[in-house]
Amino acid sequence: MPQPTLPPEILHHIFSIFPTDDAQGHVNDCTPLFCCTAVSRDWRSVALPMVWNQLHLLCNTDPTHLDALKRFFRLMDSGAALKNGFDYAGYIRKITISVTGFRRDLNIAMVMPTFVRIFGLLAPGQLNTLEVHIPERYPAAFSQILAALVPLMTSLKSFYLEDSHGSLHDADNLVRHLPLSLEELDLTGEHSYDDDDDMFVFAQMPDPLAQPPLLAQPPPPAPTPAVAPKPPDHTHIFTLPNLRHVTLKNQTSLPAASLAHGLQTWGARLTCLSLIFCDKLYTDAVLRALASHCPRLTSLTLVIPDRTSVTHQLITDRALADLLDACHSLESINFCNVHAVSDRFLARCAAGPAARALRSIDIQHAGPQLTGSSVVDVSGWAKLEELSVSYRWMEGWEGGTRKEMDARFVRAVRDGCKAMKLCWLGMERVVGPRKMREYWFGEDSCVDGEESDDESLSNWSDGDWWSCELEGDASDEEEEGDGDGDAVAYYG
């Protein structure tokens, strides 16, 4: 008598509790999910697509890795598996390609043929997610890998591209072939600023204490002027009509007019927008386009580089406030180094009826124009759960004294925001457990009002979030499950 079995939907929900991994990890490590494929036919029919759902191809020329990669390809191309109806490659829906480390002697040509053969096992339109990390030291053979990906991009839903090298032609080629079906887009361009550049400049500077040579030396020949590389052309993304989530980072050549046109194309479908280190995109015209064409926006992130001065920021507090009034579904705003965030914006944000959908507000590197002065009406924040306002280290400490926000504003938040779970205003914890503060990269680190000597906290990284741990025992309001008194990381 056959034993009753659970419906496939229930089995899928149970199997989703197991740790996730890519196909190679599941097969090589015999993970619990992989073991489920050997229990019964019903379990196998549900677990097998989950095992092979995603594939992470790592460009690693270690002999052990190469042998494992070849064995994995032979398993995918196994005639016995295909004969039994198990097309392993046909289950793959996501591919991630990255390079391990930064080895100068990395010969990607050694793994490129196997990668291309794996791509040949996939059908056009099979992938729905593609994630590509182009290395800084860009080998020529990597171009062939990227070219082989183009036929697989016809039905993508999500696309992530990190082009640290600035490989203009190959990155542009991938972006130009993005299909109209794309819904999630994340483009990270070449870092426009790096600490190593400073060290190079200082290394080239003459030593003012060096003694001049005894004999006059002929002047060095004039250097050949370098030809400026052509900036990447990613304007094709503004023609994709189904985008819902868009993240642009280090896209310094995209013009604001093109983004405004793209917002009109994306329209009401767009729900999440993040602009990080995109020098030309912080304008009122972009905010007005958001307010006019994207009423369903739920999340907005603006991170402006520190090198962008106040005079070069073309965003006004009025445009920010008008955006709040137009986007009634806005739940989360994250601003870093946005000088237009002022007391006038805060007043409209706190009292305006359009802000009542807000759940989280995170303002990093606030300027002196944001103090909360005269802001006592916070009726619009009835559902607000997280509020964080932090100042830069050098701006937040004047003459050795703390820079606090207005006492009446702090009291209004504490008494009027009943749904608040966590609130930091300046260096003051107003509501919630004692946790670590996180700052967008800065010049110095601070630990609850004291400068930290911990090297792990002072090694700030361009474009990363770093935490500063509070010293001492946590308060009696500490988060459940952290009874040892350790501070808990928080990211607003």
**Residue 199 pLDDT > 60, yes or no?**
no
Task: For residues 425 and 469, state if they share a domain.
Answer: no
Q: Give the confidence band of 67 by pLDDT, cuts at 50, 70, 90.
A: confident
Confidence of residue 6 (pLDDT cuts 50, 70, 90): confident
| Segments forming the whole domain that contains residue 488 | 433-492
Last residue within a domain, chosen from 410, 429, 448: 429
At residue 227, the pLDDT reads 54
Residue 315 lies in a domain: no
Average of per-residue pLDDT across 128-136: 87
> What pLDDT is recorded for position 313?
77
Report CA-CA distances (Å) from 302 to 307, 337, 344: 15, 8, 19
- Looking up tokens 């006038």 gives 344
Task: Tell me, yes or no, whether 145 lies in a domain.
Answer: no
Q: And the tokens for 368?
A: 């002196």
pLDDT of 33 reads 93
**Share above pLDDT 70 across residues of the chain, in percent, rounded to a whole number:** 69
For the segment 44-58, what is each residue's pLDDT rounded down to a tens digit?
999 999 999 999 988
The tens digit of pLDDT for each residue in 384-441 reads 999 999 887 544 444 434 467 899 999 999 999 999 999 999 888 888 775 545 544 4
pLDDT band at 89 (very low <50, low <70, confident <90, very high): confident
Report the Cα–Cα distance between both ends of the chain, in Å, rounded: 56
Query: Residue 246 in 3-state DSSP?
Result: strand
pLDDT-derived band at 194 (thresholds 50, 70, 90) equals very low
Residue 158 belongs to some domain of the structure: no
Asked, for residue 73, whether it belongs to a domain, the answer is: no
Let me know whether 345 and 425 are in one domain. Answer: yes
Residue 228: predicted pLDDT: 53
Q: What is the pLDDT of residue 157?
A: 97
Write down the pLDDT at residue 5.
77
Q: How confident is the model at residue 465 (pLDDT cuts 50, 70, 90)?
A: very low
Separation of alpha carbons 333 and 330, rounded Å: 8
- The segment with the largest mean pLDDT, out of 98-112, 160-174, 356-370, 473-487, is 356-370
Say yes or no: 376 and 413 in one domain: yes
Q: What is the pLDDT of residues 137-148, one digit of tens each?
A: 666 667 888 888
Q: Look at residue 231 in the predicted model and tell me its pLDDT.
A: 66
**Residue 217 reports pLDDT greater than 50:** yes
384/445 same-domain check: no
Q: What are 359's two structure tokens?
A: 């759940």
Banded pLDDT at 222 (limits 50, 70, 90): low
* 429-448 tens-digit pLDDT: 888 775 545 544 433 334 33
Contact 221, 282 (CB under 8 A): no
Structural domain contains residue 185: no
Residue 453 has pLDDT above 60, yes or no: no
Query: Closest Cα partner for 454 from 441, 439, 473, 467?
Result: 467
At 87, the pLDDT band (50, 70, 90 cuts) reads confident
Question: Does residue 264 or residue 454 have the better pLDDT?
Answer: 264
Domain finish residue from 376, 404, 429: 429
Q: Are residues 398 and 438 in the same domain?
A: no
In a domain, 459, yes or no: yes
Q: Is the pLDDT of residue 282 over 90?
A: yes
Q: What is the pLDDT of residue 3?
A: 63
Domain termination site, one of 411, 429, 447? 429
Q: Is 242 exposed, middle or buried (0-12, 13-18, 19+ CB in 10 A)?
A: middle
Write down the pLDDT at residue 146.
85
> For position 395, what pLDDT does the model report?
46
Token reading at 150: 């183009």
pLDDT score, position 204? 40
- Same domain (yes/no): 379, 424: yes
DSSP states of 304-341:
--TTS-GGG-B--HHHHHHHHHH-TT--EEEEES-TT-
Q: Is residue 234 part of a domain?
A: no
Instruction: Please indicate, yes or no, whether residues 355 and 413 belong to a single structural domain of this protein.
Output: yes
Same-domain pairing of 345 and 413: yes
Please say if the pLDDT value at position 364 is more than 70.
Answer: yes
Residue 361 and residue 417 in one domain? yes
Q: Please give the mean pLDDT across all residues of the chain.
A: 77
How many structural domains does the chain have? 2
Query: Is residue 241 scored above 90 in pLDDT?
Result: yes
Mean pLDDT of 2-8: 75
Residue 195 is assigned to a structural domain of this protein: no
Query: Does residue 449 surpass a pLDDT of 80?
Result: no
